[in-house]
């Protein structure tokens, strides 16, 4: 006796004869052809995520601008790293806690007031951090209470570096970089591109270049924020 599985609902069915596979699914009623041998069934992964930068999406969602959906076989559209199943790549305790870190960034920003673009140097200084720009051989690093920022970076990239390293400090980060790096990215994104302000700006009809200039971030950082808040499809094209 073989086991069949429905491609539509995932229900397993014990096949008593070869004609079972030609019938409809007894669970969801899917028509002929929906039942396949369990060994040959490859369930499509829907919820996918990048462990490096925190990008997450549903592979069933088609992008309005490209007409395509991001799948597990594609590189991350933000950082280019590999994507994996969001619920299988790591144990839940090891997964980045995006909601918590974004809330921490929002709380920090509210405590120091100000509009956009956010004065990240002032926020870092208020926390007792010293920002030093110089010819450092790395992309940015928190050393005790000093944030080292490569001066070769564009000013908007320097701003993200400061926000990212401030996130590491504020969140007391230690341990697995696969958890803390995406969290610091999410922290920096919320600090520089507040969700509420971003929604208001998108509602004004601004395009990506105008939005990036308003918040003082790179195009990459702006797209990251739009994707995180599911606003990318609402942005004016061109």
Residue reference for tokens 């925190």: 54
Shared domain check, 122 and 67 = no
Shared domain check, 157 and 195 = yes
Instruction: Check: pTM over 0.75? Answer yes or no.
Output: no
Domain termination site, one of 24, 54, 89: 89
Structural domains counted in the chain: 3
Residue 28 is part of which domain span? 2-40
**111-166: pLDDT as tens digits:** 987 789 999 999 999 999 999 999 999 999 999 999 999 999 999 999 999 999 99
Shared domain check, 188 and 72 = no
Shared domain check, 81 and 17 = no
C-alpha pair distances (Å), 95 with each of 23, 75, 89, 91, 102: 41, 19, 9, 7, 15
Shared domain check, 154 and 131 = yes
**Over the range 123-141, which residues count as b (16 or more CB within 10 Å of their CB) and which as e?**
bbeeeebebebeebeeebe
Shared domain check, 82 and 50 = yes
CA-closest candidate to residue 232, choices 85, 108, 56: 56
**64-113: pLDDT as tens digits:** 555 667 777 778 776 677 777 766 544 445 678 888 999 999 999 999 87
Shared domain check, 137 and 125 = yes
145: CATH: 1.10.10
């Amino acid at each position: 006796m073989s086991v069949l599985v429905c491609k539509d609902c995932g229900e397993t069915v014990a096949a008593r004869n070869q004609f079972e596979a030609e019938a409809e699914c007894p669970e969801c009623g899917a028509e002929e052809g929906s039942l396949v041998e369990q060994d040959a069934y490859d369930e499509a992964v829907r919820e996918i995520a990048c462990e490096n930068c925190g990008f997450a999406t549903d592979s069933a969602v088609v992008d309005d601008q490209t007409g395509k959906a991001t799948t597990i076989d594609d590189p991350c559209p933000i950082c280019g790293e590999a994507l994996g199943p969001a619920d299988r790549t790591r144990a839940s305790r090891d997964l980045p806690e995006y909601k918590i870190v974004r809330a921490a960034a929002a709380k920090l920003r509210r405590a120091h007031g100000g509009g956009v673009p956010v004065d990240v140097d002032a926020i870092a200084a208020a926390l007792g951090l010293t920002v030093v720009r110089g010819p450092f051989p790395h992309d940015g690093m928190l050393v005790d209470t000093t944030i080292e920022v490569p001066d070769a970076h564009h000013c908007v990239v320097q701003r993200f570096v400061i926000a990212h390293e401030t996130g590491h400090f504020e969140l007391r980060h230690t341990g697995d970089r696969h958890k803390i790096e995406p969290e610091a990215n999410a922290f920096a994104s919320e600090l520089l591109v507040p969700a509420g302000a971003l929604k208001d700006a998108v509602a004004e009809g601004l395009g990506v270049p105008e939005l990036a200039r308003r918040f003082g971030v790179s195009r990459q950082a702006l797209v990251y924020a739009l994707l995180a808040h599911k606003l990318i499809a609402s942005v004016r094209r061109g």
